[in-house]
A = this chain, B = another copy of it.
């Protein structure tokens, strides 16, 4: 991960996943090379016969920072995890992961099946010392800025130990990604009084309190506090986090559809929509920002960025840039020390 290791530094981009296919990935790459002159070298992983003409068309053939790694197979959304990993050894997502495992690349960007990405990352890269499960950490817009949600869906059957680790992973990522030195960490639950959550959050709450200064724990938070930005890192299990993320996205789209219908109801409102176009467009940009095109899978020995399956070229460009930035920071090193300290506390027999 750090800049000092000579073999590392490239970003392996899985060209074959995603709803829009390799053309979209190539378009994103073109945008990324244009927008970020200091972008790390990219290894595009996928079907060479499909990629070569697309790259030529985009003017990227022979680009000094670009190489192709051929992969003959593609992980599909409906693939079973273990079958994909055992049988599709030459799938672009798995080949990209192999490049990091073998030290050829330092980061993977993929739009593919989350569950298979999590399993492949865990098996091929392995988790950091002391971490049992990786966690997805998307950036969420909220009042006066953004916050980190962790876990967005990597580990649906989390234990209290996993959630404590999420608090540490999220703290470190928040520091790097949002520049908040001592991020406030909240545990997502129902009812914020002691003992009002479920068994998992009650146990986690006690463990987080016991951590001392390792995490700036602000206590439990309820669903309605998320967008008020009362904390900078929201900790939850991957089941809850994934349902939240996807339902929020869906609610925003529903909101947009309703707004569109209402603004088309009569000529006065249509005029209002024309005059207010900038505001409506600004809202879309604010609520569904392509600025954060992907979410890192934290807790692994390497950087894995999961981009949305339906990510457009701008979102993908940002995911590739995020991976590039991620590689610059020595995130992993600092995380392991804190995880070790937390595990000492977690492993103490209950008083």
Contact = CB atoms under 8 A, between A and B. Distances in A.
Contacts of A188: 243
A165 to B, nearest CB: 18
A249 B224 contact: yes
Nearest to A242: B190
Interface stretch (A120-128, A206-214, A262-270): A262-270
A229 to B, nearest CB: 9
A224 B242 contact: no
Nearest to A78: B193
A258 B244 contact: no
A246 interface: yes
A156 B220 CA distance: 15
Nearest to A264: B279
A50 interface: no
A251 B287 CA distance: 10
Contact of A250 (B78, B224, B255): B224
Interface in A198-254: 198-199, 201, 222-228, 236, 238-240, 242-254
A197 interface: yes
A269 to B, nearest CB: 5
A180 interface: no
A324 B253 CA distance: 35
A283 B258 contact: yes
Given A258-B283, A269-B278, A222 B246 contact: yes
A265 B236 CA distance: 36
B283 A115 contact: no
A163 to B, nearest CB: 13
Contacts of A253: 227
Contact of A272 (B222, B245, B275): B275
A30 B329 CA distance: 63
Contacts of A272: 271-276, 279
A23 interface: no
Interface in A149-195: 153, 156-157, 188-191, 193, 195
Interface of A: 78, 80, 114-115, 142-143, 153, 156-157, 188-191, 193, 195-199, 201, 222-228, 236, 238-240, 242-255, 257-259, 262-263, 265, 268-269, 271-276, 278-280, 282-283, 286-287
27 contacts: A80-B195, A142-B254, A190-B238, A190-B239, A190-B242, A223-B242, A223-B245, A223-B249, A226-B247, A226-B251, A227-B250, A227-B253, A228-B254, A239-B240, A248-B251, A251-B251, A251-B252, A255-B287, A262-B278, A262-B286, A265-B282, A268-B275, A269-B275, A269-B278, A272-B273, A272-B279, A273-B279
